[in-house]
């Protein structure tokens, strides 16, 4: 009977019948990887070797014994990590308006920075190496006690203020916080800041002649034929204004009651997930018609924009990425986008999740500012986005009470947030914002940039970003 039950359990795991168990297993793998990482990097005060209860109870060398990796070293941490409920299932993402403890934040940092990001195999990358002549910043540093306190007490891990051609505030998480787990050369996850990186790549593809303009229609891409996205203007895709709001929500991804997701593993319905290529998603939209356009914030439009560049540039895609980041931004440490595993360029395997070091994020933002101020082709592209921005607070949302994403900005301009509350309407500001407290705000008028990287949005961004952008010193 015991043997039969063991085989039955094994079958359930392998066949993925029990979705809840599958998710639980994912989290177990993440925790196991986290513990191994802690141990291998010398954080022995947080973790120790310990055999799991399954390994203790199962017969040595049995199928379940091997399945649970009992033949490999196992570890147990002494941390109080909280996994949050999402639709009845445990999830490692931390919802808004929570008060995560230090241990939970550390686990989040690991998931974003060192973990295989729940993907097996680990996704390949579209990597862009460092510039031959990386841009060297000038500094005129001053202390900032408020930012120091934010780094000591919140999930903020990096803060950079660039003004008047120099870095004036350069603050990083201290060793007694998260500084013993990361350093200034660690590549940090962009989250939705990656959307703006995609847009900047689109601008370079236009300027290099691969795409006619932001008003070009997507009518030459076989992948999106017979879908609501076919023959749409590129600017509408960039503006999240493609009329797909009946099928997609920003938080949940696909509306499963409307879109048949049975052809895709239900675990992967977020457009930033690096397991799904564009073809699989687009196939779900066959025979769809667009609705009356309204602003609808999600990542599929961003993925479409990036993979349209991939389609138009073909084997020159990496060269466009190099043009954008290596040549223009003069990065020092290299950057990358995820690549969907077991896919191809023809299927749209470029993923919007972007990684860079803190100083390379600043180099990219400075390149954008230089383009704008020097009125280069890419600068004209950014200005065109600004002029063609769309209202985020449409009547439907106002009436229904649906929350507005990044509500401190009133308008959206081609993957950038614009027209910030409390600023003059004519103030030329563009911002990049991502889940968890990733912020990059550029004041083109006053040559000022602020960049924050964080594990969770619990620092006071109004005071640390917008007040300083507005008033500087």
Distance CA 434, CA 122 (A): 23
Within-domain flag for 144: no
Within-domain flag for 143: no
Domains held by the chain: number: 2
Distance CA 246, CA 228 (A): 11
- In this prediction, residue 403 carries a pLDDT of 67
- In this prediction, residue 240 carries a pLDDT of 96
Query: Do 167 and 97 fall within a single domain?
Result: no
Distance CA 247, CA 398 (A): 20
Query: Do 275 and 402 fall within a single domain?
Result: yes
Query: Do 163 and 43 fall within a single domain?
Result: no
Between helix 19-40 and helix 102-113 the angle, nearest 10°, is 90
- In this prediction, residue 407 carries a pLDDT of 86
Tokens standing for residue 113: 């920075």
- In this prediction, residue 399 carries a pLDDT of 60
The dihedral through the CA atoms of 444, 301, 319, 133 has a sign that is positive
Bridge-partner residues for 167, per DSSP? 139, 162
Within-domain flag for 141: no
Query: Do 344 and 426 fall within a single domain?
Result: yes
Within-domain flag for 160: yes
Within-domain flag for 146: no
Query: Do 90 and 209 fall within a single domain?
Result: no
Distance CA 80, CA 91 (A): 15
Within-domain flag for 140: no
- In this prediction, residue 259 carries a pLDDT of 73
27 three-class SS? helix
Phi-psi region of 402 (alpha: psi -120 to 50; beta: other; left: phi over 0): beta
Within-domain flag for 120: no
Within-domain flag for 199: yes
Closest CA to 434 of 410, 465, 455: 455
Burial class (CB within 10 angstroms; exposed 0-12, middle 13-18, buried 19+) of 161: buried
- In this prediction, residue 87 carries a pLDDT of 61
Query: Do 74 and 191 fall within a single domain?
Result: no
Using 70 as the pLDDT threshold, list the residues of the chain that sit under it: 1-24, 86-89, 115-123, 250-252, 256-257, 261-274, 394-404, 473
Query: Do 110 and 157 fall within a single domain?
Result: no
Query: Do the Cβ atoms of 122 and 130 come closer than 8 Å?
Result: no
Distance CA 112, CA 455 (A): 8
Q: What is the DSSP letter of 123?
A: P
Tokens standing for residue 317: 């895609």
Q: Domain span at residue 422?
A: 128-133+151-471
Query: Do 279 and 211 fall within a single domain?
Result: yes
Query: Do 363 and 245 fall within a single domain?
Result: yes
What is the residue-wise DSSP string for 426-444? T--EEEEEETTTEEEEEET
pLDDT tens digits along 61-113: 999 888 888 988 989 999 999 988 766 667 778 888 899 999 999 999 999 99
Bridge-partner residues for 390, per DSSP? 412
pLDDT tens digits along 396-416: 566 666 666 778 999 999 999
Query: Do 350 and 224 fall within a single domain?
Result: yes
Query: Do 192 and 275 fall within a single domain?
Result: yes
367 three-class SS? helix
Q: What distances in angstroms separate CA 269 from CA 272, 361, 405, 429, 436, one per listed residue?
A: 9, 28, 19, 33, 20
Query: Do the Cβ atoms of 277 and 311 come closer than 8 Å?
Result: no
Query: Do 319 and 454 fall within a single domain?
Result: yes
Give the domain CATH number at 196.
3.40.710.10
């Amino acid at each position: 009977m015991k043997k039969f039950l063991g085989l039955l359990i094994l079958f359930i795991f392998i066949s993925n019948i029990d979705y809840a168990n599958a998710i639980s297993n994912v989290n177990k793998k993440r925790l196991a990887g986290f513990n191994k990482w802690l141990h291998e990097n010398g954080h022995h005060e947080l973790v120790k070797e310990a055999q799991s209860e399954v390994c203790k109870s199962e017969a040595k060398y049995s199928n379940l014994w091997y399945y649970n990796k009992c033949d490999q070293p196992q570890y147990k941490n002494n941390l109080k990590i909280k996994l949050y409920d999402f639709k009845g299932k445990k999830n490692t993402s931390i919802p808004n308006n929570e008060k995560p403890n230090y241990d939970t934040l550390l686990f989040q940092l690991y998931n974003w920075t060192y973990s295989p990001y729940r993907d097996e195999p680990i996704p390949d990358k579209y990597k862009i190496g460092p510039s031959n002549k990386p841009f060297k910043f000038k500094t005129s540093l001053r202390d900032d006690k408020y930012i120091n306190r934010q780094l000591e007490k919140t999930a903020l891990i990096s803060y950079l203020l660039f003004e008047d051609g120099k870095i004036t505030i350069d603050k990083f998480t201290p060793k007694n916080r998260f500084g013993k787990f990361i350093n200034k050369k660690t590549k940090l996850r962009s989250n939705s800041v990656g959307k703006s990186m995609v847009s900047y790549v689109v601008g370079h593809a236009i300027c290099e002649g691969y795409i006619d303009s932001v008003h070009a229609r997507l009518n030459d891409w076989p992948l999106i034929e017979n879908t609501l996205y076919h023959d749409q203007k590129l600017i509408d895709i960039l503006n999240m204004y493609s009329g797909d709001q009946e099928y997609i929500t920003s938080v949940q991804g696909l509306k499963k009651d409307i879109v048949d997701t049975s052809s895709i593993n239900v675990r992967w319905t977020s457009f930033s997930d690096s397991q799904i290529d564009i073809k699989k998603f687009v196939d779900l939209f066959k025979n769809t018609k667009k609705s009356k356009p309204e602003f609808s914030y999600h990542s599929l439009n961003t993925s479409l924009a990036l993979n349209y560049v991939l389609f138009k540039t073909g084997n020159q895609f990496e060269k466009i990425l190099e043009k954008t980041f290596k040549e223009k931004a003069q990065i020092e440490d290299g950057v990358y986008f995820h690549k969907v595993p077991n896919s191809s360029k023809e299927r749209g395997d470029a993923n919007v999740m972007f990684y860079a070091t803190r100083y390379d994020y600043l180099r990219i933002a400075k390149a954008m500012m230089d383009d704008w101020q020097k009125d280069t082709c890419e600068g004209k592209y950014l200005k065109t986005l600004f002029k063609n921005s769309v209202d985020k607070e449409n009547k439907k949302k106002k009436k229904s009470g649906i929350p507005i994403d990044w509500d401190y900005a009133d308008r959206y301009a081609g993957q950038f947030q614009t027209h910030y509350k409390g600023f003059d309407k004519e103030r030329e500001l563009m911002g990049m914002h991502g889940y968890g407290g990733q912020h990059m705000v550029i004041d083109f008028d006053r040559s000022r940039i602020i960049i924050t990287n964080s594990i969770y949005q619990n620092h006071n961004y109004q005071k640390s970003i917008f007040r300083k952008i507005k008033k500087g010193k």
